[in-house]
Chains A and B, each alone.
Chain A
Amino acid sequence: MADFQEESIGLDHYGNDDFEAGLAEGKPLKRVEDLLLNMGPQHPSTHGVLRIVLDLEGETIVKATPHLGYLHRGVEKLAENSTYTQIIPLTDRLDYTCSMTNNYAFVRAVEKLLQIEIPERAEYIRTIVAEMQRLAGHLFWLGTQALDIGAMTVFFYTFREREVLLDLFELLCGARLTMSYYRVGGVDRELTQEIIDRLYKFLETFPDKVTEYNTLLETNRIWIGRTRDVALITAEDAVSFGLTGPPLRGSGVNYDVRKAEPYGVYDKLDWEVPLGKNCDTYDRYWIRIEEMRQSASIIKQCLDRLPSGPIITDLPQIAYPPRDKIQTDMESLIHHFMIATQGFKVPEGEIYCGTEVPKGELGFYILSQGGNRPYRLRIRPPSFIHMGAFDHMAKGYMIADIVTIFGTYDIVMGECDR
């Protein structure tokens, strides 16, 4: 594949001048011209608004130039003018299919700067919810990727399970998509017994459901034909491009933030990082399937060990007072008002904090000058960095493969453009 460009496609290749010259010499000639094809910004497979300009030689891609920014809302600029609590809803709108993990990544960064301890129960709940979100994210990916490639059934199957998870999120925090459930210092609401029971029930059948998706795709000739050896990238290139998450692990590089720099309660649990070896889309598919099994196991282990206790830190300068006190006690009401209107102060300093989200490593770099707003907040979006490798990974493939190559990153433009 890689040395495609050096080879001609079997026809005599002439530029315009050569063509005229060839005519004068009386040679039999075929003229080959490169075709410039615009794809997007509105295209169902781009999962957002993305425009790609493709240089084609016949049906083969010679160069793919992504034009980003159609969904740019200036989140980083907005964040500089918002208090830390006000930024949590902004992070929902990055990768809007996995808002829980975005919230988690952001609050972890602020907590690192504040250097505060999180209650144990809160850590467990955070891990459970982040893994539920990973399941929902991977289910979303599997359904849409299969749909883009042409298998419609998988979409209905995966969205059936995703629906159960979204119902649980709704029960947990009242929202299904933009959740804003995490808070600096803990979480917003209690994981009730009803949710725990329903989650147990869900986990009983979920591994069988994953097997069910797998039977639809694993040995499906069309699926294999369209994902095997498509979007190849070597381990060395993947690291150099800064890929993270399943695209990196598909190339056999063992890097998962949850293992490399453990947070939450991941280091107390028994789970594995699946690694691919063929560097192609099929291996990334397999990794996501395997990660779903691992996530289900992580949730189950967390539920079994879930300790009791508070769900948010009791530091009065950061957390709201309890609800019943706000309604009965004047001091608490004032306290609540102060935090809600002015936010809390964060000490001077700068940190980078990466978190493993379904798409890869979502990092936050926060530079604080001691106020209630960040001086600079930089989001390291995995989708944006994956798009940097797009041209490299699309070269030499057929035009029909382009939707597979989009899908291989699990790209979401809200996060890419911010």
Chain B
Amino acid sequence: MNPSALKIKEVHPDAVLSEKTAFGELTVEIDKAKIFEICQFVRDEPSLHFDMITDICSVDFPNETPRFEVIYQLYSVEKNHRVRLKARVSEEDCAIDSVVGVWKGANFLEREVYDMMGIRFNHHPDLRRILMPEDYDEGYPLRKDFPVEGRGWRDNFENLSED
């Protein structure tokens, strides 16, 4: 088992749902309720020291429950190692705790996840749409059920090719 995963599991045994190493990258799946706690832990623990937030993104699996997955890519400048944390978010309770208190860079990244996938972040200081217009009400573009061409005036016309 990877030493980073071992350390997280040792201190927070009930928060780690699974872990795997593939393509030389460590992925740890975390219980959604514990995400803030774990993020704070991996930043402050001297042997891990994940002080840089590389990325936050989300994936939509429409046929699975819970439906969404929020993915955190972390990097440690001092130790030069990476980890990927994951947390599953269901469609009914589409919210997860914000980690802006842990890494300042999470602010814009979480706003983008909210904008593109519709996952809300609890305790986020400024949760607004970021890339789409603020009054955009056609849904969340990166969800799999959102058409590539977008919604809008096209939907008002019959699709001739279907006849």
Binding site for B on A (CB under 8 A): 68-69, 72, 74, 76-78, 80-81, 112-113, 115, 237, 239-243, 253-255, 260-261, 349-352, 354, 361, 363, 365, 367, 375-376, 378, 380, 384-385, 387-389, 392, 417-418
Query: Do A69 and B133 touch (CB < 8 A)?
Result: yes
CB-CB under 8 A from A417, the residues of chain B are 131
Q: Residue-by-residue, is B28-60 near A (CB-CB < 8 Å gives 1, otherwise 0)? A: 000000000000000000000001111101011
In the complex, whether B80 has a CB less than 8 A from a CB of chain A is yes
Supplied contacts A351-B23, A378-B55, 18 more A-B pairs, CB within 8 Å: A72-B131, A72-B132, A74-B141, A76-B142, A78-B148, A239-B52, A242-B52, A242-B103, A242-B105, A254-B77, A349-B23, A352-B25, A363-B54, A365-B57, A385-B108, A388-B107, A388-B108, A392-B104
Query: Do B108 and A260 touch (CB < 8 A)?
Result: no
CB-CB under 8 A from A367, the residues of chain B are 59
A115 to B112, CA, bound (A): 31
- From residue A185, how far is it (CB to closest CB) to chain B in Å? 17
Q: Which residue of the partner chain B has the closest CB to A391? A: B107
Name 7 A/B residue pairs within 8 A (Cβ), A-sorted.
A68-B131, A69-B131, A77-B146, A365-B71, A367-B59, A376-B60, A380-B55
CB-CB under 8 A from B141, the residues of chain A are 74, 77
A224 to B144, CA, bound (A): 51
In the complex, whether B8 has a CB less than 8 A from a CB of chain A is no
CB-CB under 8 A from A81, the residues of chain B are 148
Query: Do B84 and A239 touch (CB < 8 A)?
Result: no
- Assuming the A-B contacts A69-B133, A237-B104, are A255 and B54 also in contact, with contact meaning beta carbons closer than 8 angstroms in the complex? no
CB-CB under 8 A from B130, the residues of chain A are 68-69
In the complex, whether B120 has a CB less than 8 A from a CB of chain A is no
A378 to B57, CA, bound (A): 7
- From residue A352, how far is it (CB to closest CB) to chain B in Å? 5
- Assuming the A-B contacts A77-B148, A385-B109, are A380 and B59 also in contact, with contact meaning beta carbons closer than 8 angstroms in the complex? no
Query: Do B109 and A351 touch (CB < 8 A)?
Result: no
- From residue B51, how far is it (CB to closest CB) to chain A in Å? 5
CB-CB under 8 A from A113, the residues of chain B are 23
Q: Residue-by-residue, is B140-162 near A (CB-CB < 8 Å gives 1, otherwise 0)? A: 01100010101000000000000
CB-CB under 8 A from A351, the residues of chain B are 23, 25
Q: Residue-by-residue, is B80-124 near A (CB-CB < 8 Å gives 1, otherwise 0)? A: 101010000000000000000001110111001000100000000
Query: Do A352 and B131 touch (CB < 8 A)?
Result: no
- Would you call the interface of chain A mostly helix, strand, loop, or mixed? mixed
Top-9 shortest CB links A-B: A242-B105, A388-B108, A69-B131, A378-B57, A241-B105, A380-B55, A72-B131, A240-B104, A376-B59
CB-CB under 8 A from B73, the residues of chain A are 352, 363, 365, 380
CB-CB under 8 A from A388, the residues of chain B are 104-105, 107-109
CB-CB under 8 A from B23, the residues of chain A are 112-113, 115, 349-351
In the complex, whether B22 has a CB less than 8 A from a CB of chain A is yes
Query: Do B104 and A389 touch (CB < 8 A)?
Result: yes
- From residue B18, how far is it (CB to closest CB) to chain A in Å? 14
CB-CB under 8 A from B146, the residues of chain A are 77
A207 to B99, CA, bound (A): 45
A253 to B52, CA, bound (A): 12
Contact of B54 among A72, A74, A76, A361 (CB under 8 A): A361
CB-CB under 8 A from A384, the residues of chain B are 108, 112
CB-CB under 8 A from A380, the residues of chain B are 54-55, 73
CB-CB under 8 A from B107, the residues of chain A are 388
- From residue B22, how far is it (CB to closest CB) to chain A in Å? 6
A351 to B21, CA, bound (A): 11
CB-CB under 8 A from A354, the residues of chain B are 54
